[in-house]
Amino acid sequence: MSRIRIMAAPIAALIAALLAGGVQGAPVYQPPGANLTYGDVTHGQRILSAAGNPAAAAAELARAGKEAKSGSHMSVVVGLEYGNVQELFDTFDELSKIFLPTEPDGDPPPPGQDPDDKPPGIDFPIDVDALLDQLEPEMQAAIAAVAKEAATLGALLALIKVEGYGKLFVSGDVPIVIGKEFLGGAWTFGVNYSGTSKAFGVAEAIDFDSDEALQNLRDGLSDGPSTLERRQIDLSGGFGLFLDPENDSALLNLENDSLLLTKAATIAEFAIGYSRRAWATPRGSLFLGGKLKYYRMQLSRISVRFGDITDSSELFDAIRHADFDNDNDFSFDLGALWVSDHYSLGATWMNVNEVKFRFPEVDTSDYKNPDIIAGLNADRTYQLEHQLKLEGSLYSQNRRWTANVGLDANAVPDPMGDDFQWLTLSAGYATDSWWLPGARVGLRRNLAGTEMTYLGLGVTTLKIVNIDIAATFDTVDISGKSLPQGLILSIGFEIGF
């Protein structure tokens, strides 16, 4: 199966999950519309500029004066990101052959994890007759081969722990900025629509001791007539050797709690914001604002040991049939913005009250490693952690030209557990012409988590249509082709009324 074909499974699963359950608000992994390129800054060129920092709407209303208009921007964002492991799901499926399956309990297994369909192990080039004759050099050579296999497998598990993931995110955003003052300030409303799904490996380290394995192999072959029987000899670090003298073969297997975890989150956010001028001077004005957000969140996750996997790509598809836990709560943001004729400086305190949501429990009865069990239990909670966003912009008098910088002062996780802390640099030119397009360019780097850098490009055509695309400099090999490790596309249009 090529990796291109593999991508269809998570896309179909996530679309089904979105249709079944709702949307996700305020995604930390990418901003909507033109802000995909600009970043979370008050650049003053599109309607979304007044919908980010809670204080920005009042600043825009004060700048536009009697010419201020109400407006909205509707955008859809789709993004894909893969770890740098070639043929991701094929890697999981091949790797699973060496792991011992869970003991059957009579229940039909979920999709993608049927231990009865697994081959008995990986053929290992060991001369069983030599083993039965208890020839010391052959035993040492066999253990050396197992040690090499353990080292290779351990290295692969370490790689999977960091790079073994596939992720999809979808977002829809509809902010509304009111162009008239009411109760002494400016008002904004918004509905954010998005969701994310991810499959990734969780690895248990392998601790293989060659001396211990050699002694266990000697002991296992020194019990007389039973050496002629089919049986298992436990070596070291979870490795076992299944001997079948009748067929002159040996199979190497591993008892280990490494697993594949598939998660999905769909959230709806409804927001209302208020801002006003707090202080005015000849050199500039200070604006303050707040935003109240209501979340409706649905979360799901499926866990399966490597030993039970027969088709890992099915697990992504199975997320549409999984149980989603529903949770609702309120959060709020605070913002401040200093605006002068040619520059602005701002700060936003996101998710001040740090509300928590919970994923469904997963059955850990088949796991033995306490660290794996503790990790699965800890992974159940998702917290909207507070984050401080800093911003600065330089612009011409008419805001046709702008240069911007945005910085997240701290990292926060998304529902999949990935940390994000964005640093963005951007510049753009805007026009009021229906025929001459506006253009923008931006660099976006995640200072935490994947630490990847995106290059963003965007244009505005017919005054209302925004098209933005961002791609990573990091690449992955997919079916022999080098492609961006992350790719995000945003299409939207804005209207004034």
Here the CATH number for the domain that contains residue 61 is 2.40.160
Q: What pLDDT is recorded for position 113?
A: 53
C-beta of residue 36 within 8 angstroms of C-beta of residue 488? yes
- Label residue 447 left, alpha or beta by phi (over 0 means left) and psi (-120 to 50 means alpha): alpha
pLDDT tens string 142-171: 666 666 666 656 555 555 655 667 788 888
405 within some domain: yes
Q: What is the DSSP string of 319-368?
A: GGGS--EEEEEEEEEEEEEEE-SSEEEEEEEE-TT--EEEPPP---TT--
Q: Which domain holds residue 53?
A: 3-89+164-204+258-496
**Residue 97 included in any domain:** no
Instruction: Give the span between the Cα atoms of 43 and 442, in whole angstroms.
Output: 12
If DSSP codes are grouped into helix, strand and coil, which group holds residue 91? helix
**Does a structural domain hold residue 458?**
yes
Going by the DSSP 8-state scheme, the letter that residue 100 receives in this structure is P
Residue 255 CA to residue 208 CA, distance in Å, equals 12
In a domain, 171, yes or no: yes
Cα(36)–Cα(104) distance, integer angstroms: 48
Residue 150 lies in a domain: no
- Report d(CA 247, CA 268) in Å as an integer: 59
Is the pTM value of this prediction over 0.85?
A: no
Burial label for 468, CB within 10 Å (0-12, 13-18, 19+), is buried
Backbone angles phi, psi at 331, to 5 degrees: -140, 165
For residue 155, is it within any domain? no
pLDDT tens for residues 392-410?
Answer: 999 998 888 999 999 999 9
One pLDDT digit (tens) per residue for the chain, 497 residues: 223 233 333 333 333 333 333 333 345 557 777 888 998 888 877 666 767 899 999 998 888 777 777 878 788 888 888 776 555 556 666 666 656 676 665 555 555 555 555 555 444 444 444 444 443 455 566 666 666 666 656 555 555 655 667 788 888 888 888 888 899 999 999 888 778 888 787 888 878 788 887 788 777 766 544 545 677 788 888 877 777 766 666 677 778 888 888 888 888 899 999 999 999 999 999 999 999 999 999 888 888 887 776 665 666 566 666 778 889 999 999 999 999 999 999 999 999 999 999 998 888 888 888 999 998 988 889 999 999 999 999 999 888 899 999 999 999 998 888 899 999 999 999 987 888 889 999 999 999 988 999 999 999 998 889 999 999 998 877 667 788 888 999 998 888 77
Q: What is the pLDDT of residue 454?
A: 95
Which amino acid type is present at position 65? G
**Which residue type sits at 216?**
N
34 in a structural domain:
yes
Residue 100: name the closest of 235, 229, 285 by CA.
235
Distance CA 339, CA 349 (A): 18
In a domain, 312, yes or no: yes
Query: What is the number of domains present in the chain?
Result: 1
Contact 326, 298 (CB under 8 A): yes
